């Protein structure tokens, strides 16, 4: 009974909340509007925007002398999570079955496991650092910790269900993913989408000034 609920209505509900929530958040940001910049530009705003959306993924050397392990952890987590979310066979099957109707090539199983391990490594290092560093301790609020916990839970339950032999384990994983989807639009996790806006706006401004940011 619970199984049907998790597989059925709760899935539809969580996916809808996610999609509508994400779109709504982005729309409200855009609707706040920006005043037109009347100063004569030196360079192109759109080129700057596109440039910064990609270039910010490369870290700035002069600020990274002490944060090296953190930077590596950040890359490991994000890249690992992206790989395992979209290129692990069980996930592709799920998405193909429930959302898109068609799948795509999966990465080999060993790559799936490797991505998972790297993602865990990154997340654990980042999360422990968040709890230890005076800077992040000052900055972090409930939202940050809840986000970290939920993502970790989804990853952990997924790992526990890796054998794909028990319905209960699969359902716990799906349930935690659904909770994450519901929480997503109301939290910092939105940076997954809004980073394009924030990087873009800054890139545009700096591009107009002729600075590669």
Least distance (Å) from another protein to the CB of residue 92?
19
Q: Give the nearest distance from C-beta 43 to another protein in angstroms.
A: 8
Is 64 or 96 the residue whose CB approaches another protein more closely? 64
DSSP string over 50-69: HHHHHHTTSPPGGG-SS-HH
Query: What is the number of H-type helices and E-type strands within the chain?
Result: 10, 0
- Nearer to another protein by Cβ, of 94 and 201: the residue is 201
Smallest separation (angstroms) from another protein to the CB of 111: 14
Closest to another protein by CB, 1 or 66: 66
Q: Could you give the CA distance from residue 148 to residue 132 in angstroms, rounded to a whole number?
A: 15
Q: In the structure encoding, which two tokens stand for residue 119, read together?
A: 């993602």
CB atoms within 10 A of CB 31: 7
Q: Which is nearer to another protein, 3 or 96 (CB)?
A: 3
Q: How far is the CB of 100 from another protein (least distance, A)?
A: 27
Q: Find tokens 């000034």 and name the residue.
A: 209
């Amino acid at each position: 009974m619970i199984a049907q609920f998790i597989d059925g209505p709760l899935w539809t509900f969580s996916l809808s909340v996610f999609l509508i929530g994400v779109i709504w958040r982005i729309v409200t940001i855009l609707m706040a509007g920006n005043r037109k910049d009347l100063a004569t530009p030196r360079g192109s705003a759109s080129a700057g925007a596109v440039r910064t959306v990609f270039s910010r993924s490369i870290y700035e050397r002069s600020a990274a002398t002490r944060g090296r392990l953190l930077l590596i952890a950040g890359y490991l987590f994000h890249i690992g999570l992206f790989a395992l979310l979209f290129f692990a066979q069980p996930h592709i099957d799920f998405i193909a079955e429930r959302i898109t109707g068609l799948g795509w090539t999966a990465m080999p199983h060993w790559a799936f496991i490797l991505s998972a391990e790297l993602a865990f490594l990154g997340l654990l290092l980042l999360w422990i650092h968040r709890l230890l560093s005076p800077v992040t301790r000052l900055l972090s609020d409930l939202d940050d910790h809840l986000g970290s916990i939920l993502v970790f839970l989804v990853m952990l339950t997924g790992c526990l269900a890796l054998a794909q032999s028990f319905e209960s384990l699969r359902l716990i994983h799906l349930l935690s993913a659904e909770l994450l989807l519901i929480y997503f639009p109301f939290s910092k996790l939105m940076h997954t989408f809004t980073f394009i806006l924030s990087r873009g706006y800054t890139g545009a401004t700096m591009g107009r000034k002729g600075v590669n940011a």
